[in-house]
Structure 1
Amino acid sequence: MTDTSDTSDTSAGNETGDSPTGTASPQVPPAGTAGTEEAVAAVKAVSSQLYDFVGVPGTATAPGPGIRACEGKDPDTYFRVHHPWSFQPTSGADNDTAMANLKEKLSTGGWVVQDSYRDNSPNQNLNLVADHDARKVSVWVVAYSKRATPSIGIEVTSGCYRVPEGQKVQHS
């Protein structure tokens, strides 16, 4: 499910928030046929599951998913869902526990950890990239444990959906 971007490149996941998955690439797998609302709901469900995986008290940011074009495909017919959000534990000391919980859970229930590495930022943040092939989603997680306010950045990205015949992608 993961894009062609080399997630072992330690420039990915730096403090600036650059994504290892970046924009859609031709190797992004098809995710099937769905309307944008249905696809967004599916990605929200994945984000909710990841929130549960964290396993420590805290708060998540509120921004919702967005729609992106699938590179090389008709933007009125094909799209991806992209949902970046962050989690801030109630206690900064819980950041490492939350990340350990995510790493463990992202190795079960259809999830497969594709990569685990430390980026080349001054803080050498722990990064995880995992895929769920049945759900056609990929997640990139970054632990910002050494910040003044520790947090975890989470980015969920779907495969490339095609809207049903007669519909167009709804860019909301």
Structure 2
Amino acid sequence: MTDNDTSRSPSGTTAPEIPYAGTASTAEAVAAVKEVSSRLHDFMGVPGEASAPGPGVRECEGKDPDTYFRVHHPWNFLPTSGADNDTAMANLKKKLSTGGWVVKDSYRDNSANKNLNLIADNDARKVSVWVVAYSGRATPSIGIDVTSGCYRVPEGQTVEHS
């Protein structure tokens, strides 16, 4: 998701414009993003529990909201042991450098806990992920935010907003 660098990421670096992800029904695109989130869960390699809310559908800025959409899936991972938070992040950083994934940014934010942030793209899947390790909290966790590129619904269909 590296086309047309025009916006800014949370760390202040240039972030890409949202690319075209192809044609798919809303259900197909949601399923594809769920599969990416499932792989990210596997990448962590430590036992824990993921939050329940599923992906939602958002508009693609500047495009017809009845025809174009993107899928956004924010979720949280709570490792069984708080000590596993750092292990899960190390595993994610390693895995997000393979299989079509490219780590675009890795930085400590300016919060009191200096949380580790990872931003990675998978151009083939037209998805981006922003991961934040909340290791300094009383209950350590990892926040994951998966966002797809802009999809177009097939001819004759409209976007199903959830």
Number of the residue aligned with 1:45: 35
Please name the residue that 1:60 is paired with: 50
Q: Which amino acid aligns with 1:114?
A: K
* 8 Å CA contact 1:7, 1:115 repeated in 2: no
Partner residue in 1 for 2:20:
30
| Gaps in structure 2 of 5+ consecutive residues | none
Cα RMSD after superposing both structures:
1.7
Higher strand share: 2
CA displacement at 1:7 relative to structure 2: 3.9
Q: Distance in 1 between matches of 2:9 and 2:41?
A: 26
Contact map agreement 1:145 1:151 (CA 8 A) in 2: yes
1:6 CA displacement: 2.8
Pick aligned residue for 1:110 from 96, 100, 106: 100
Match of 1:133 in 2: 123
Contact in 2 for aligned 1:77/1:162 (Cα 8 Å): yes
1:13 is matched with none
Q: Which aligned segments of 4 or more residues in structure 1 are displaced greater than 6 angstroms?
A: none
Secondary structure, in 3 states, of the residue corresponding to 1:121? coil
1:72-115 Cα deviation digits (max 9, x unpaired)? 00000000000000101000001000000000000000000000
Deviation at 1:136, TM superposition (A): 0.2
TM-score by length of 2: 0.94
Contact kept? 1:129, 1:139, Cα under 8 Å? yes
Q: Percent of counterpart pairs with the same letter?
A: 79
Q: Secondary structure at the match of 2:136?
A: coil
Indicate the residue corresponding to 1:121 in structure 2. Answer: 111
Q: Which residue of 1 aligns with 2:9?
A: 6
Shift of 1:170: 0.3
What is the CA–CA distance in structure 2 between the aligned matches of 1:144 and 1:118, rounded to whole Å? 11
Aligned length: 159
CA distance in 2, matches of 1:104, 1:147: 23
Q: Distance in 2 between matches of 1:140 and 1:170?
A: 25
Cα displacement (A) at 1:143: 0.1
